[in-house]
Structure 1
Amino acid sequence: MLNLTYEFKLKPTPQQAQEIERILEVCRRVWNYALAERKDWIRSRKSPINACSLFAEYIIPADQPYPNYARQSQALTKAKKDYPELKTVNAQALQQVLKTLETAFVDMKRKGMGFPRFKKARRMRSFVFPQMLKNCVQGIYLKLPQLGRIEYIKSREIPEGFRVKLARIIRKAGGYFVALCLECDVDVPDVPPHGYPIGIDLGLDKFLATSEGELIKRPRFFNSLHRQMKLLQRRLKKKQIGSNNWQKLSKIIARLHETIANTRKDFHFKLAHHLCDQAGMIFVEDLNFQAWAKGMWGKHTLDAGFGQFVTILQWVCWKRGVYFGKVNKDYTSQICPNCNAHTGKKKLSFRVHSCPECGYTIHRDVASALIVRNRGVSEVGRILDVKEVAWGGDLTGTRNGLVKSLRNRKKGGEAWIYPAS
């Protein structure tokens, strides 16, 4: 089963935009009520038996079960009799709100996420229609439940053989968007290792360096508009919260943030395609970008968006048939790519790798990218050996022939060394 998600911009009529806002508001109230119900149940059981809570808590009977998704869905159906406004919103859209809340509570333990929060006005930004008709796409129009036929900008065609499984309506600073989840009954195998390999080293001095010696400068997405953002934030601070001027200025700031995010994503996609044009295998370090973001250079790390870039690069590689792999990150900057000697730690101010054993000199980031590439090729060889693939001797197209040709290949008069697996 193959799933794709395509995002399009909607062009709703004023009546449809008003209906979208009303649905978002009802979904927000359902979220807040369900979250409050769960928090009250948890708080009523957090105090010891022989002590009282320092804060006022609701007294909930001990035999009352935990309000999970199933019980809250049943309660939602009964609540429609007392609150007719709930009947005016698609029932499945409200159920999806409860499912999202259930997932948030599960992720607290499974992924170590934070406690779900209540949503203030205009903080609910999306809702889902989980069941779509087969003929919901009609030219430049989409047929959505409750909203009817709504026009959208058809920036690309939906692939043949795919059907629309669900639709998520999203409100952004730039307007309303729809994310269509497409489904196709086909199994696509993973991309096998093939072609010419390159390694990538990510960093803050240069956004990335490749094993081919290419250095990509790190764009300052946020810093380029930091002065304008700072000025707008100062003006917003002087406005009365909730006033019309406050809302207008908030929309301008939101549009500016969206411009920064779109510019960053556009750069990541173009760079990913540029890398895929050069190789059949791409290897990167298996890094913990969340730890990077908490360090001294957290602001610059988040501005670069390394995690988003790696995710986009993996998707583009799969789409274009390029093998993508992650390798161990340890000591990539402390090993000589020419003789595999351990050169020790280097200060961040040292941007040139100079091996004391063999005298090999190269840019520090390029040397790390070479190590990443060598480890990737070695790891691919190990995987292929485990699968017991029938390889020939030193013939062209076999693994031994590939490693031998790569070892003997030269660029700029310097041999590229690949350790045998």
Structure 2
Amino acid sequence: MRTAYQYKLRPTKQQVVELDRWLSMLSAQYNYLLADRFNWYQENRSSVNACPLVCHLPELRENPDYYSQKKTLPQLKKTHPWYSEIYSQVLQDVVKRVKVTFDRFLKGDSNGKRSGKPRFKSRSRYRTFTYPQMKDGCLPCNSISLPMFGKVKVVLHRPIPDGFKIKTASVTKKADGYCLTLSLEDKTVPEIKPDFNPHSITGIDVGLKEFLTTSEGETVAIPQYYRKTQKRLRVIQKRVSRRKKGSKRRQKAVKQLGKCHKKVADKRKDFHFKTANWLLSKYDVIAHEDLNIKGLARTKLAKSVLDAGWSSFMSILTNKAVNAGLLVIPVSAYNTSQDCSNCGEKVPKKLQVRWHDCPHCRCSLDRDHNAAIVIKNRAVGQPVLKARSMSYAIAGVAEKPTPDCTQLV
């Protein structure tokens, strides 16, 4: 079992200077290795027989892969002795980051989706370095021992579980200081297999009027953290734009702006976790729409969609369900707001119409509540739930009746 814990670091002023120096050197090395790959790609992207007859063919060289770039690190420490102060495995991790970034650009990820062209990182954009291996006992009391850096004070707001071993450690610079992310592993803890009750199911319809509405009619208000902070953000952003580029006063204003944005993101993340916990404590199976959130973020509702953070919430909900042995099912979002939850007939309505009135079966209820019931009904037809319901029927567990639409009005 693998999990990650994040803690706040409390480095001294001298350690802060050293951490910034490490990040500056690592960003320079990252840019150099990435430029080396770009140069090879531009010079060798076409085979010789595909070039025109009259052209200048550069000298072909081998592809700078992970191992060849890794072999350049000893020479780097000879030509640039200050890189000897950085732990060797931290430098090797930079080579790995370049490899992963460039491979996603050329080949794509495991799903075949290619990312955009990698960008060079300035000192302010390179914020993390990683120790791929950590020794046992590296976290005594309230400090962590980082190889070739020293001991740094850590705020241990929660203890590491017994039996878990620290595999990697990442130091990240954020707007309000440095934090430590530990990757933990315990091989004695097996992976949690889904063991859910198929009759304890609900459908949720996410929206912008209410954050979500369940098929039982429960609603969760949308907090709109970004919109509530817009006035303050506008003042700070104007302060940044008025400062002279490169000045210390501009850096101070940018740091203040980053803290404000981080506060909004932290509030939203906390709300998502609490909402996911509330849902999983009441239901074993949760069905939701399989939305194209990237597409919705290009519409006129983009600000509200991104402020709600649906994608982040669905990811948190799915991960917590897996850890709890529960199930989250995505269903098709096609016509969930147009179909009637009682008779299944299509009832066209515009976005501003917030009430569902079916002329066929006289079903009358809130539009979002109707959509949540439709989502639940679609999830009930999924093969995994049919198989589990059959096993419950064989075991003698009575199936809960589906609520009638007339009882929901």
Return the TM-score normalized by structure 1: 0.88
Equivalent residue in structure 1 for 2:373, among 338, 347, 370: 370
Per the TM alignment, residue 46 of structure 1 is displaced from its structure 2 partner at its CA by 5.5
The residue identity in structure 1 corresponding to 2:363 is Y
Partner of 1:233: helix, strand, or coil?
Answer: helix
CA distance in 2, matches of 1:387, 1:52: 67
The residue identity in structure 2 corresponding to 1:116 is P
CA distance in 2, matches of 1:388, 1:312: 26
Equivalent residue, structure 2, for 1:419: none
> Which digits, 9 at most, give the CA deviation of each residue in 1:352-379, with x for residues without a partner?
1111111101111111111111122221
Partners of 2:380 and 2:386 within 8 A in 1: no
Matches within 5 A, 1:214-253: 214-253=218-257
CA distance in 2, matches of 1:388, 1:239: 64
CA distance in 1, matches of 2:54, 2:156: 62
CA distance in 2, matches of 1:282, 1:352: 24
Equivalent residue in structure 1 for 2:321, among 303, 317, 320: 317
Q: CA RMSD in A?
A: 2.3
Per the TM alignment, residue 82 of structure 1 is displaced from its structure 2 partner at its CA by 1.1
Equivalent residue, structure 1, for 2:91: 94
Equivalent residue, structure 1, for 2:124: 122
Partner of 1:150: helix, strand, or coil?
Answer: strand
Partner of 1:137: helix, strand, or coil?
Answer: coil
Equivalent residue in structure 1 for 2:269, among 254, 265, 268: 265
Change (3 A) 1:40 1:150: same
Structure 2: runs of 5+ lacking an equivalent: none
Per the TM alignment, residue 205 of structure 1 is displaced from its structure 2 partner at its CA by 2.4
CA distance in 2, matches of 1:247, 1:357: 63
Q: Is 1:42 equivalent to 2:41 in the alignment?
A: yes
Q: Is 1:336 equivalent to 2:337 in the alignment?
A: no
CA distance in 1, matches of 2:315, 2:243: 39
Structure 1: runs of 5+ lacking an equivalent: 54-58, 416-421
Per the TM alignment, residue 310 of structure 1 is displaced from its structure 2 partner at its CA by 0.6
The residue identity in structure 2 corresponding to 1:118 is F
Partner of 1:165: helix, strand, or coil?
Answer: strand
CA distance in 2, matches of 1:222, 1:296: 16
Number of residues of Structure 1 aligned to a counterpart in Structure 2: 398
Q: Is 1:356 equivalent to 2:359 in the alignment?
A: yes
Per the TM alignment, residue 193 of structure 1 is displaced from its structure 2 partner at its CA by 3.0
Equivalent residue, structure 1, for 2:178: 176
Change (3 A) 1:137 1:250: same
Change (3 A) 1:163 1:104: same
The residue identity in structure 2 corresponding to 1:88 is E
Matches within 5 A, 1:105-254: 105-108=102-105, 109-110=107-108, 111-185=113-187, 186-194=189-197, 196-254=200-258
Equivalent residue, structure 2, for 1:383: 384
Q: Is 1:255 equivalent to 2:249 in the alignment?
A: no
Change (3 A) 1:388 1:223: closer
Change (3 A) 1:342 1:383: same
Partner of 1:142: helix, strand, or coil?
Answer: strand
Partners of 2:23 and 2:123 within 8 A in 1: no
Equivalent residue, structure 1, for 2:28: 29
Q: Is 1:406 equivalent to 2:383 in the alignment?
A: no
Change (3 A) 1:167 1:60: farther
The residue identity in structure 2 corresponding to 1:368 is A
Partners of 2:365 and 2:408 within 8 A in 1: no
Change (3 A) 1:60 1:94: farther
Change (3 A) 1:279 1:411: farther
Q: Is 1:274 equivalent to 2:278 in the alignment?
A: yes
Partners of 1:199 and 1:370 within 8 A in 2: yes
Change (3 A) 1:391 1:200: closer
Change (3 A) 1:51 1:31: farther
Partner of 1:222: helix, strand, or coil?
Answer: helix
Equivalent residue, structure 2, for 1:13: 12
> Which digits, 9 at most, give the CA deviation of each residue in 1:215-253, with x for residues without a partner?
222222211111221222222122111111111111101
Partners of 2:2 and 2:186 within 8 A in 1: yes
> Which digits, 9 at most, give the CA deviation of each residue in 1:286-335, with x for residues without a partner?
12211121222122211111100111111222334432221222221122
Change (3 A) 1:411 1:387: closer
Change (3 A) 1:304 1:387: closer
Partners of 2:26 and 2:91 within 8 A in 1: yes
Per the TM alignment, residue 77 of structure 1 is displaced from its structure 2 partner at its CA by 2.5
Return the TM-score normalized by structure 2: 0.91
Change (3 A) 1:385 1:257: closer
The residue identity in structure 2 corresponding to 1:75 is T
CA distance in 2, matches of 1:414, 1:245: 59
The residue identity in structure 2 corresponding to 1:142 is I
